[in-house]
Structure 1
Amino acid sequence: MSKGVAFLEIEAKLEKFAETAEAVAGTTKKLEKVAIVGDYLQSLNDADLTRAARYFAGHQFAQNDSRTTNVGGSILSAALSEATGFSGDDLYPRYVRLGDAGEVAEEVIKAVKHNTPTITLAETESLISRLSETRGTKNKIALLSAVLHRATPLEAKYLVKLLAGDLRIGLRESLVEDAIARSFVQPLEKVSYANMLLGDIGYTAVRARAADLQDVGMRLFHPIKFMLATPAADLTDIARTMPDEFLVEDKFDGIRAQAHVSDGRVAIYSRTMDEITHRFPELVQPLLTLPTDVIIDGEVVPAKDDAILPFSGLQKRLGRKKVGTQLLIAIPVVLVAYDLLYANGRVLIDEPLSARREVLERLIPASGPLRLSIAKSFNDASQLDNEFDAARARGNEGLMIKSPASFYKPGRRGREWMKLKRAIATLDVVVTAVEVGHGKRRHLLSDYTFAVKRSVDDDELLNIGKAYSGLTDAELAELTEYFKQHTIQEFGHGRVRLVQPTVVIEVTFDRVQPSNRHKSGFALRFPRILRLRPDKLPTDIDTLDTVRKLVDPT
């Protein structure tokens, strides 16, 4: 920790953070990225260490802080125009060429400004907090443009990237944890564990520097990353992977949910780490009746008594800021609990699933708006055909197959959990551009261009198709307003818009074909939108490798 000690009291500049980020982006080697970040973190005082660790992890605030800036592409574009004098028409071709709002900001600032670096990380934190507190689009634009007006090109680039919610330098939070561990000579597993419990990688970094990672207590009311399942190719794949005895549950067609309950308070979080309690008010009271503090992993499913309702009904509730009485009656939901991460003051993720289920079964009733999932024990994968058919008959997607010995691994996708779904080719993709429709949809943004990621480790978006059908007029109307607020650039008087890549959709298609039409090198034949996936983040979408596996050889 001796490196950079002489500089610990100096207030860190955003320019130096940006230079470090540029160096990280300049290498594809993970260990080099980790070393670059680690060297920089060592040079910071505790306050700036907290800020920098959060920003490198892609967070504007700590994960346990529910504030948001509500700064979308339209605000960023307008603020940049106001700060530089470039019109929207001037900015558009640059965005098409560069594909990144931060790089656009760097280029236009460089063209008109000759500022020296003055913005500190403390001022950056203050700006983000003020944007969160400021009401009204015009006020946010004025606040942001004033800072951009005196920013250097590199400061502007990373300020815009940070506000857009993605640095796009190939740096995941797990690599920031690794950098913290190596810099301050702490075991990586302790750093990762503390970050999970605290919900703040910045505070975790400060505690790691102080070698104070013992006795870290769980802070409830910040979402913990969800453990994920690996798709099973077939029953043979399950037989080869699972132990002699394994647990089988229905795979519900709902949205993943994590419920935190403590001291008369309830919070429900989605897989995108957003709080969604207000969308399911009927679940609050059943959760409050639990006899202890808990963190439950489960699924919110539309259901009436024991009958599972179509997922499309649930979608009507997801976009609402307030769910009215009529919608509560028309589309009732239940929370099916199938795992337990915390209870009775104990963190349970390092205990086997069988032990976690035992505690869960004592806490959760078998029926009602809060109910326990049914987990059956099997020792022969060949018996799952009938169970799969039964699950589909109950209105569910398929089966979840889990090892009773599995620990809960937040944010990890392992083969201790597997999923068996319906045999239909689908892709999870993110919308990158939208266009006004035709006929009765001529007033709606109804035509969506969508993309996959280049790879698991490379978040570059590659367009692969365009879909015109699958969503209702009500969904399109809601999304039209959303896309208008999250437009990066528009042309044709708003008929076509490049939008922030935040909306994930699930698409199906007839087949995948090689094509020069899209940057991905492939195109989907007759793509249709199956449904919106508000429960997924853009980082969760499928990759180019998945697309290659689906290519029609003919």
Structure 2
Amino acid sequence: MTDSASFAALALALADVAALSGRHDKADRLGVLFAELDDADLRRAARWAAGRVFSLSDQRTVSVGFAALLRATMAATGAEEDDLRAALVRLGDPGDVTAGAIEALVPPVESDLTIEEAEGFFEQVAETSGSTAKTALIAGMLARVTPEEARFLVKLLAGELRIGMGEGGVVSALSRLYGRKGATVRRAVMLTGDVGEAAVLARRDRLAEAHLTLFHPITFMLASPAEAKGERTLAEEVARQVPPPVAVEDKFDGIRAQAHVAADPGDEDLHGVPEAGARVALFSRTLDAIERAFPDLVRPLAAFAEAAPRGVILDGEIVPLGPQGEVVPFQALQKRLGRKTASEELQRDVPVAFVAYDVLAIDGEPTLDASFRERQALLDRFDWTGPLRRSVVAEVHDLDTLDALFDAARARGNEGLMVKALDSPYKPGRRGRDWLKIKKALATLDVVVTAVERGHGGRRKLLSDFTFAVRASESDGTLLNVGKAYSGLTDAELAALTEWFEEHTLQTFAHGKVRTVEPEVVVEVAFDNVQVSKRHKSGYALRFPRIVRLREDKPAAEIDTLATVAALAGDA
């Protein structure tokens, strides 16, 4: 096929995928779509099926909120705002709402939109500034497309495709269609930062040619929690999962960050900012670019380009510092979170450090397959001074010393301990047993807020009471409520969250006192213990929960699962 294919055909194929239940059935249906496309359309379709408008290596974003999509749908269809909001409560998906509004039009819309033209539309949206101009552009497109096309255009603009696939599903589809190993396809996606490019390489049997591209985020390796269980001591529990000798280091109470540094290639389309002949990018755990919010780290990181001009990628933590350069509690960092830039005054008031504990690439070559011990040796190349620090790693043979090491880490102002297998490779996006996190002072869970309620007394104007949930499993994103918390956040934090919750309400009850909300706000909660409960579908309830902190660095897809709750309750 030489001409760009119909976007309507792609939209209908994605609807078919969404309607199927089996993972392999979904992958095979997606494969049928991919097989019919030329290389250019395959690149686009693979990205979109993974839920991304642009590749990870592309710094452009469409930046469209629900309010703008609602206004665009009203302009394109003449629908009433109250009717659209009621439909959103009923359907729970802005794409479905827009499709329903267009479906009601008489006469029905006919469309000749191609996949190539749809890409051009997304590029226009990314390049257009101002809410009014964006809304007009989107409304113009919605007025010329079919309901099915509108559904997936809006889903992509909203950043929630919801077809039960994601990047992993696209990898599975490519693997099954072209007979390639899934691990090989995943590696190509990781190296290039572009599932679309990996799709074409898979088609041509050239996955081995995928090479590392800097300045796009690589998904972080994750750790599993470990603690004493039943009659097993902490040492016995750790030894069961990671036999000694092991690497032990402090678990820092900051925000996870990935730093990319290289001699400036002069490509302004790349993520990152130029600094002193180098280019520096910082990515958060949610894979968002945050270097402009931390210019006090960009300047010193740029110096690393001298030691590795072809590039280095570091995994680490951004932590707040006290007046003597000591690490201070995470709460001090809250003032710097959620900001696109940081003033000089804010940088002085809340200084930070970047603590590196791993290296993912050096001299432009990936180091992911090297052992943890080998990767640690590569960090010796750099000068760790000022706000750039290196995690101190100890090789521990006697796990009975873990309790004392934990207490020492807490005395240094850190959260706990990390225990890592010395021979472990770096596994992007994986949560295995090679890395364990030990936090034993308080049991905590990362949860997502599903409903909010107005408080009492001085907080009667604030949505301060949060109902929260965990995921059903690592592979099942169904949210299951496990508790409700009333305390732990400041009035200023609650005021900002109240505004957000009011704009992202799905349904209201009790004359607006109670609201179900879009499940995007992640919080860390502490509690005394876990009880079996018939009140929640999860079957569990947290006893005396309180909010420890907002987790703006963590997406809802990475919150804790029901298995973790069950383990804490002693049921696993």
Same fold (TM over 0.5): yes
The aligned counterpart of 1:194 is 188
TM-score by structure 1 length? Answer: 0.91
For 1:222-241, list aligned pairs within 5 A: 222-234=216-228, 235=234, 236-241=236-241
**Of 163-172 and 465-474, the range deviating more from structure 2:** 465-474
Instruction: Give the match's secondary structure for 1:58.
Output: coil
Aligned mates of 2:570, 2:360 — CA distance in 1 = 42
Aligned mates of 2:71, 2:553 — CA distance in 1 = 30
The aligned counterpart of 1:256 is 256
The aligned counterpart of 1:528 is 546
The aligned counterpart of 2:403 is 385
- Residue 208 in 1 paired to residue 202 in 2? yes
Instruction: Give the match's secondary structure for 1:402.
Output: strand
For the 8 Å contact 1:72–1:486, the answer to whether it is kept is no
Q: Give the direction of change, closer, same or farther, for the CA distance of 1:516–1:9 in structure 2 (3 Å limit).
A: farther
The aligned counterpart of 2:289 is 275
For the 8 Å contact 2:372–2:424, the answer to whether it is kept is yes
Aligned mates of 2:256, 2:114 — CA distance in 1 = 39
Aligned mates of 1:320, 1:126 — CA distance in 2 = 30
Aligned partner letter, 2:34:
L
Q: Aligned-pair distance for 1:108?
A: 3.2
Aligned mates of 2:154, 2:464 — CA distance in 1 = 28
The aligned counterpart of 1:142 is 136
The aligned counterpart of 1:84 is 77
Deviations 1:277-328 (Å, cap 9, x if unpaired)? Answer: 1222111222122211210011111123452111011111012222122322
Match of 1:63 among 56, 65, 84: 56
Aligned mates of 2:388, 2:434 — CA distance in 1 = 26
Match of 2:362 among 322, 336, 343: 343
For the 8 Å contact 2:447–2:522, the answer to whether it is kept is yes
The aligned counterpart of 1:4 is none
Deviations 1:387-412 (Å, cap 9, x if unpaired)? Answer: 01111111111110111110111111
The aligned counterpart of 1:457 is 475
Deviations 1:150-208 (Å, cap 9, x if unpaired)? Answer: 33222222222212212222213122122223323333333222211111111121222
Match of 1:37 among 18, 24, 30: 30
- Residue 538 in 1 paired to residue 556 in 2? yes
- Residue 479 in 1 paired to residue 505 in 2? no
Aligned mates of 2:423, 2:301 — CA distance in 1 = 27
Q: Aligned-pair distance for 1:142?
A: 2.0
Aligned mates of 1:516, 1:97 — CA distance in 2 = 26
Deviations 1:427-459 (Å, cap 9, x if unpaired)? Answer: 222234455555544554444443332332222
Instruction: Give the match's secondary structure for 1:112.
Output: coil
Match of 1:362 among 366, 381, 386: 381
Aligned mates of 2:227, 2:18 — CA distance in 1 = 35
Instruction: Give the match's secondary structure for 1:214.
Output: helix
Unaligned stretches of 5+ in structure 2?
229-233, 264-277
For the 8 Å contact 1:433–1:448, the answer to whether it is kept is yes
Greater relative contact order (Cα < 8 A, sep 6+): 1
Deviations 1:345-393 (Å, cap 9, x if unpaired)? Answer: 321111111111111123242x531111100011121111110111111
TM-score by structure 2 length? Answer: 0.88
**Of 482-491 and 155-164, the range deviating more from structure 2:** 482-491
Q: Aligned-pair distance for 1:90?
A: 1.6
**Of 290-299 and 118-127, the range deviating more from structure 2:** 118-127
Aligned partner letter, 2:149:
E
Q: Give the direction of change, closer, same or farther, for the CA distance of 1:45–1:188 in structure 2 (3 Å limit).
A: same
**Of 335-344 and 504-513, the range deviating more from structure 2:** 504-513
Match of 1:97 among 76, 90, 98: 90
Aligned mates of 2:343, 2:294 — CA distance in 1 = 11
For the 8 Å contact 2:227–2:440, the answer to whether it is kept is no
Aligned mates of 1:497, 1:89 — CA distance in 2 = 17
For the 8 Å contact 2:522–2:554, the answer to whether it is kept is yes
Q: Aligned-pair distance for 1:143?
A: 1.9
- Residue 25 in 1 paired to residue 18 in 2? yes
For the 8 Å contact 2:226–2:436, the answer to whether it is kept is yes
Aligned mates of 2:79, 2:372 — CA distance in 1 = 57
Aligned partner letter, 1:428:
D
**Of 509-518 and 253-262, the range deviating more from structure 2:** 509-518
Instruction: Give the match's secondary structure for 2:145.
Output: coil
Aligned-residue sequence identity (percent) comes to 51
For the 8 Å contact 1:168–1:459, the answer to whether it is kept is no
Aligned mates of 1:47, 1:153 — CA distance in 2 = 25
The aligned counterpart of 2:115 is 121
Q: Aligned-pair distance for 1:532?
A: 0.9
Aligned mates of 1:360, 1:283 — CA distance in 2 = 17
Aligned mates of 1:249, 1:398 — CA distance in 2 = 9
Match of 2:524 among 506, 520, 531: 506
- Residue 243 in 1 paired to residue 243 in 2? yes
Instruction: Give the match's secondary structure for 2:51.
Output: coil
The aligned counterpart of 1:399 is 417
The aligned counterpart of 1:158 is 152
Instruction: Give the match's secondary structure for 1:308.
Output: coil
**Of 383-392 and 157-166, the range deviating more from structure 2:** 157-166
Q: Give the direction of change, closer, same or farther, for the CA distance of 1:516–1:72 in structure 2 (3 Å limit).
A: farther
Deviations 1:216-246 (Å, cap 9, x if unpaired)? Answer: 3221110001111111133222112223311
Q: Aligned-pair distance for 1:84?
A: 2.9
Q: Give the direction of change, closer, same or farther, for the CA distance of 1:266–1:445 in structure 2 (3 Å limit).
A: same
Aligned mates of 1:244, 1:545 — CA distance in 2 = 26
Aligned mates of 2:13, 2:445 — CA distance in 1 = 35
Aligned partner letter, 1:136:
G
Superposed CA RMSD: 2.6
Q: Aligned-pair distance for 1:332?
A: 1.3
Aligned mates of 2:45, 2:498 — CA distance in 1 = 35
Instruction: Give the match's secondary structure for 1:356.
Output: helix
Aligned mates of 1:436, 1:502 — CA distance in 2 = 19
Aligned mates of 2:116, 2:512 — CA distance in 1 = 38
